[in-house]
Structure 1
Amino acid sequence: MSEVPRFWRESRHRYRLVGTRCENCNTLYFPPREICPVCRRESVGKMREEELSGEGEVYSFTVVRDGLEQFKMQVPYIMAMIRMKEGPLITGQIVDCSPEEVKIGSKVAATLRKVRVEGKDGIIQYGYKFVLKE
């Protein structure tokens, strides 16, 4: 059995939106970083974890109508850049709606969903996606 599912299960930011904030310049990053690219070595040991709310709005998006073979069953699907309430831009899929419902500025919330099924054992990997907020 692959170690990938174990890695995913034990990765804390996989099931929560956890970023890191630089205590020098107060910039919040997602995914987490060990060193701030602005402050560089001055940030070593000064990056603290911070959980994001999961709320944001659509900054940009595209509708994928001809996906890779493993995603053919999902087309059309929506990939978006989400500006989180706390500031970082996150790439993610918007689910449970039609492409016509999504607009720049639409409010969204993160949700935990199945990302893929691995191998003959059918081990499920989960991750975040986004849904439109009413």
Structure 2
Amino acid sequence: MEREVNAYKCRKCGTLHYPFRMVCKNCRANDYFEFDIEPLPKRGKLLTFTFIHNLPAQFEVARLGLGIVELENGIRVTGQVDIEDPTLGMDVVGNVEVVRHDTYDDRYGFVFRAA
């Protein structure tokens, strides 16, 4: 099952927000019903990244890549980077996937791969 993440578009000025905000950062509209839901695009550009090599024991990988991606609509999100040799500015595609298994449930987050 593919999961979808939404941005919130202010009905007064059109500014996109992610994550949700009760008050528009542009025009200060502050009514929950003044926002439309808009799915986040899956494609974007990798702005920056880092690798963590010394992870706690509960992680199942030797290294963990994290990065900031600017999506096609201008929203920036943080997520895992599952690319062997990433480069700044490269095109990536993201999905929402399980990023960690806990005792009682799974944790979901963005995972980006080369486009």
TM-score above 0.5, yes or no = yes
2:47 aligned with 1:55, yes or no?
no
Q: Equivalents in 1 of 2:17, 2:57: separation in Å? A: 32
TM-score by length of 1: 0.73
Aligned length in residues:
113
Q: Equivalents in 1 of 2:20, 2:57: separation in Å? A: 30
Gaps of 5+ in 1: 1-14
Pick the structure with more helix per residue.
1
Q: Equivalents in 2 of 1:103, 1:29: separation in Å? A: 27
Which residue is 1:114 aligned to?
Answer: 98
SS in 1 for 2:54: coil
TM-score by length of 2: 0.83
SS in 2 for 1:26: coil
2:19 aligned with 1:31, yes or no?
yes
Are the counterparts in 1 of residues 78 and 110 from structure 2 also a CA contact under 8 Å? no
Structure 1: 4+ residue segments shifted above 4 A? none
CA RMSD, 1 decimal:
2.1
Which residue is 2:87 aligned to?
Answer: 103
Gaps of 5+ in 2: none
Give me the identity figure in percent: 24
